[in-house]
């Protein structure tokens, strides 16, 4: 009963805290631009409003158009439950859980792209093709980062992999994972979540035809994914396992806040890159993670 209660509390934490991060990012962007900006809790209001609205369906859409966002949301939340939360550890930890994490994120992306294609729109098909093409490079960088952590710790259990820092390659791994975070969550300079230019939209164009609860699932799933990558980045770099539970919790919360503010600053100070420059930046992220892997391999365990 205690373990079930812990899982419920952990799930509640992920679901309730995640929408706070996009609000902080938008607030930082507004502060840099000298504007007041929307409230930090704006996404909570949007989700509550969308949940009460009805769903508008395309005549070409099959039931997969509704099932896609739902399955993607479940996959992202399931992946988040695998990520340990500092001294609290992982909610569903088992040997090889890091492999399931990668597959769940891939399933979420597949279902989102599938739902976009269900509309029969060439425009949304273009966005899905761009999303998947970026994913080829981001997944390579993410898998290389996971290999670096696995070599460093000698395990494939997330709880053990993220309890210690990544050693001498921590800076390289942090830079590579931060680029992966921006790309996976469709942030500047890879994508602009606020854009309305038809020829430059990527992720946003994939969800243009969604409305009501399915759109709420898409938005909430995106916020959970952002929090997931922020926690993964912080725990991959910081030696939380060597700190006291209170210090580790404080360090994790502070580092996630720093990453969130950094995303807002990047979006405020950088412009979106041209499509031809995105593969170069993602390849750089892969190389950073690869160098961290080589350091972990040749440097040995800490």
pLDDT of residue 103: 96
Between CA 293 and CA 271 the distance in angstroms is 30
pLDDT of residue 193: 79
Of 40, 61, 82, 36, the residue nearest 224 (C-alpha)? 82
Element (H, E) at 35: none
Highest averaged pLDDT of the listed ranges 169-173, 190-194, 261-265: 261-265
89-112 pLDDT, tens digit per residue, is 887 888 989 999 999 999 999 999
Element (H, E) at 107: helix 97-117
Q: Kindly indicate the confidence band of residue 2, based on its pLDDT and cuts at 50, 70 and 90.
A: low
Helix (H, G, I), strand (E, B) or coil at 280: helix
Ranges assigned E (strand) in 84-231: none
26-78 pLDDT, tens digit per residue, is 999 999 999 999 999 999 999 999 999 999 888 888 899 999 999 999 999 99
- Which carries the bigger pLDDT value, residue 192 or residue 282? 282
pLDDT of residue 302: 43
Between CA 259 and CA 243 the distance in angstroms is 20
Q: Are 91 and 10 in contact (CB under 8 A)?
A: yes
Whether residue 301 has pLDDT greater than 50: no
Q: Phi and psi of 233, rounded to 5°?
A: -65, -45
Between CA 181 and CA 234 the distance in angstroms is 11
Share of the chain above pLDDT 70, in %: 95
For range 243-248, the mean pLDDT: 92
pLDDT of residue 84: 93
Whether residue 231 has pLDDT greater than 50: yes
pLDDT of residue 138: 95
- At which residue do the structure tokens 């790309």 appear? 183
Q: Are 159 and 88 in contact (CB under 8 A)?
A: no
| 250-281 burial code (b ≥16 CB/10 A, e <16) | ebbeebbeebbebbbebbeeeebeeeeebeeb
pLDDT of residue 1: 44
Q: Are 38 and 194 in contact (CB under 8 A)?
A: no
- Which carries the bigger pLDDT value, residue 277 or residue 215? 215
CA dihedral 195, 199, 200, 203 (to 10 degrees): 80
Whether residue 199 has pLDDT greater than 80: no
pLDDT of residue 195: 72
159-185 pLDDT, tens digit per residue, is 989 987 667 789 999 999 999 999 999
Contacts of 151 (CB under 8 A, 6+ apart): 293, 296, 297
pLDDT of residue 124: 87
Whether residue 225 has pLDDT greater than 60: yes
Q: Kindly indicate the confidence band of residue 198, based on its pLDDT and cuts at 50, 70 and 90.
A: low
pLDDT of residue 106: 96
For range 141-160, the mean pLDDT: 92
């Amino acid at each position: 009963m205690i373990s079930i209660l812990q899982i419920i509390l952990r799930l509640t934490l992920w679901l309730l805290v995640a929408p706070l991060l996009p609000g902080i990012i938008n607030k930082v962007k507004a502060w840099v631009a000298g504007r007041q900006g929307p409230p930090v809790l704006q996404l909570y209001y949007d989700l509550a409003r969308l949940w009460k609205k009805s769903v508008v369906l395309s005549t070409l859409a099959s039931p997969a158009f509704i099932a896609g966002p739902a399955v993607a949301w479940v996959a992202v939340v399931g992946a988040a439950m695998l990520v340990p939360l500092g001294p609290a550890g992982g909610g569903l930890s088992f040997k090889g859980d890091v492999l399931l994490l990668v597959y769940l994120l891939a399933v979420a992306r597949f279902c989102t792209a599938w739902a976009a294609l269900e509309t029969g729109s060439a425009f949304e098909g273009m966005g899905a093709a761009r999303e998947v093409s970026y994913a080829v490079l981001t997944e390579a960088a993410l898998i290389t980062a996971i290999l670096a952590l696995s070599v460093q710790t000698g395990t494939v259990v997330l709880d053990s992999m993220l309890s210690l820092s990544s050693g001498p390659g921590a800076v390289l791994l942090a830079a590579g994972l931060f680029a992966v975070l921006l790309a996976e969550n469709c942030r500047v300079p890879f994508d602009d979540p606020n854009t309305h230019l038809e020829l430059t939209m990527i992720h946003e164009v994939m969800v243009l035809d969604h409305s009501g609860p399915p759109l709420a699932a898409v938005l909430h799933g995106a916020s959970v994914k952002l929090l997931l990558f922020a926690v993964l980045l912080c725990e991959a770099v910081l030696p939380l396992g060597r700190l006291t539970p209170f210090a580790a919790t404080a360090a994790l919360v502070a580092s996630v806040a720093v990453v969130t503010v950094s995303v807002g600053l990047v979006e405020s100070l950088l412009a979106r890159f041209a499509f031809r420059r995105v593969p170069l930046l993602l390849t750089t992220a892969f190389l950073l993670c690869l160098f961290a892997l080589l350091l972990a391999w040749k440097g040995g365990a800490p």
